[in-house]
Structure formats: C-alpha cells, structure tokens
Amino acid sequence: MGLQRYEFNQIRMGVDTPIVVYAAREEQAVRACRAAYSRITALEERMSDYRADSELNLLCQRAVGRWVKVSPELFYVLWRAQKLAQQTDGAFDVTVGPLVRLWREARRTGKLPDTAILSDAKARSGYRLMELSLRRRAVRLKTERMQLDLGGIAKGYACDCALRELRKHGLPRALIQMGGEIVAGDAPPNAPGWKIDLPDSPHGLFLKNGAVSTSGSTEQYVEIDGVRYAHIIDPRTGLGLTQLILARVRARDGITADSLATTAAVLGDPDAKRLERLYKGVQVTVSQVCFNHSGQPLNGSHGRLT
C-alpha cells in the first residue's frame, strides 16, 4: 500500500515539536505519534529544571554530599554531558544552572547581576562539582544550592527517543524538530532524505538517519547597554555569550548534535572545529550572525522542515 505523509505538532519542553511520518494508514500514524509525544513528556518530567518535582530538581536537593541513584535515561544524559565537559574544559557544562537563573532574571529586569551575586552563582557551578558513578548509576554533588540544567542537551536526546518509539511502531520514515534540534529517521519514499531549509545553505540539506542542530545568539537573548547576552552561558564569565555567533552541527544522533552545537557556540571559531576530531562523523560550522537593514538575522534561523 502507498505511504502517506502525516504531520503533527505539539508543544514539549517549551517549544513547538513537529513530527512528520510516512504511514500506510492514519490510525497507525496517530498511534505512533501519540506514543512518541508521551515518551517526550516522560523525559520532560525527569529532566526539566522548570518543574520543582522533576527527577533532576529532586536530585539537586538530595545529592549534596551523598550518592543518589537516578534513572537510566537521566544518568545517560548526565554521563554524555560530563564527558563533553571534560573534553572541552567545561565549555559545555550542565552545572551552569545558577548562572542560567541569573540570565533569566536579567532578561526580566534588563539588568546584569551585581558582582557578589554573580560570584556566588559561579561558586555553585563547575562540572568538577558533580560526580558520577557508573557502577552505582548515581550522582553526587559537592556543594549546596547547585542547579543542573539540561537545556543544551535534553531536546536532542528526546528527539532520539521519540524516533526510536516511532520505529518500534513500524514507522522508520520520520522527522522530529524541537526548537533548534532536527532529527531524521529513514528518508521519505523516493527521496534522498528529508529536505531541511536552512537560510545559510542555499540548496537546503537532505537529512536521513542523522541530526542537525543550531545554537547561537539569534533566538534568545537580552540586550543591556547595547550588548547582546545570549541564553548560552560562557562559563568563564558566568554571563550570556556576547559574540554574535551561529553554530551548526551535523551528527548521527540528536544528543550529539544538540550538545555539540551549544558547545561550538561557546568555543567559537576556530576552536569549535576541534569537536570534529573528538566525535567521529560530526560536522561543525561556526559563523558570525549577519543582519539585514531592519535588524533581523539573515542566517540565524533554526531551519524549517519542508
């Protein structure tokens, strides 16, 4: 039977999450996508730093000075994050939560944090303050009032898990986007891949069984005294990145593309290229954001599914 294209869109982890699948029947598409969205919801309940009762937030409260066992999913994401932190000397660092909170406050108030508050938040951040035990599948934090933040990695991982769910339901030809993360399964029928429109690549991109992620200072930022501070924290300063930068990463899966794109934005050019040597098969591009005459970024968008 011929395959039809079905599209769904729901909000997950605070962003539009479109899923496109090819299926023989509508009921099959609906059932599979429902399962995929439920999988993402379950991950959000574990990994959100916005929900007071998420597994992540309970961990931050309970793991100070003692080992706390966590779910396999949370452990895997923390493990990947910690490996990347070690490889990049903390350019990627999920312990930046206290600094992310200050950035959110600055966005609300239009003011930078004062020096004492900033140094207090910096003292509670730093990947060396988080220990992981593979044997116990457990986490221990070294300081009070730490805050873990998986905003730079969890969406890519959620896309990977949702794609696996669709495959389990017999739909391998699928595409998922969560904000800057796009993850593709098998190609649509009679096509070389899923065509992704990217403003800076004129012919678009054909993606299959792989991921492309975009990070940088174009989507979320606060401008204070003429300086733009992006939502990505430079752990060296404790403040949002001020470089007008756009990082794009292609990788085999979403968790890799997502975490490396955030890292590439922090590292900038040419350091970010080092990531290609650390992760096999990964392509990293970092460019300056270009603006048109009305201040809109020309090359900034996340990419569109077509």
| Contact call for residue 152 and ligand AMP (CB under 6 A) | yes
**Alpha helical stretches, state H, the chain:** 26-47, 55-62, 72-87, 97-109, 115-123, 154-168, 254-267, 274-278
The residue with its CB nearest to Mg ion is 262
Question: How many other CB atoms are there within 10 angstroms of residue 236's CB atom?
Answer: 11
CA distance linking residue 130 with residue 114, whole number of Å: 26
Which residue is associated with the tokens 């975009």?
A: 214
| Contact call for residue 127 and ligand AMP (CB under 6 A) | no
217 close to 258: Cβ distance less than 8 angstroms: no
**In the bound complex, what is the minimum distance in angstroms from residue 234's beta carbon to ligand AMP?**
7
290 close to 299: Cβ distance less than 8 angstroms: yes
| Contact call for residue 93 and Mg ion (CB under 5 A) | no
Which of the ranges 58-66, 87-95, 136-144, 161-169 carries the binding residues for ligand AMP, by CB under 6 A? Answer: 87-95
Per-residue mark of binding to Mg ion, 182-221 (x: CB under 5 A): ----------------------------------------
| Contact call for residue 165 and ligand AMP (CB under 6 A) | no
Work out which of 22, 75, 92, 221 binds ligand AMP, going by CB under 6 A.
92
Work out which of 13, 59, 96, 102 binds ligand AMP, going by CB under 6 A.
96
Nearer to ligand AMP, 98 or 152 (CB): 152
| Contact call for residue 262 and Mg ion (CB under 5 A) | yes
Burial of 145 (0-12, 13-18, 19+ CB in 10 A): middle
Which of the ranges 52-60, 122-130, 149-157, 225-233 carries the binding residues for Mg ion, by CB under 5 A? Answer: 149-157
Nearer to ligand AMP, 173 or 302 (CB): 302
Question: How many other CB atoms are there within 10 angstroms of residue 189's CB atom?
Answer: 11
3-state DSSP call for residue 20? strand
Q: DSSP letter string over 155-211?
A: HHHHHHHHHHHHHHTT--SEEEEETTEEEE-SPPTTSSSEEEEETTEEEEEEESSEE
**In the bound complex, what is the minimum distance in angstroms from residue 69's beta carbon to ligand AMP?**
24
229 close to 221: Cβ distance less than 8 angstroms: yes
Work out which of 90, 152, 216, 254 binds Mg ion, going by CB under 5 A.
152
Binding site for ligand AMP (CB under 6 A): 92-94, 96, 100, 149, 151-152, 180, 215, 231-233, 235, 258, 261-262, 266
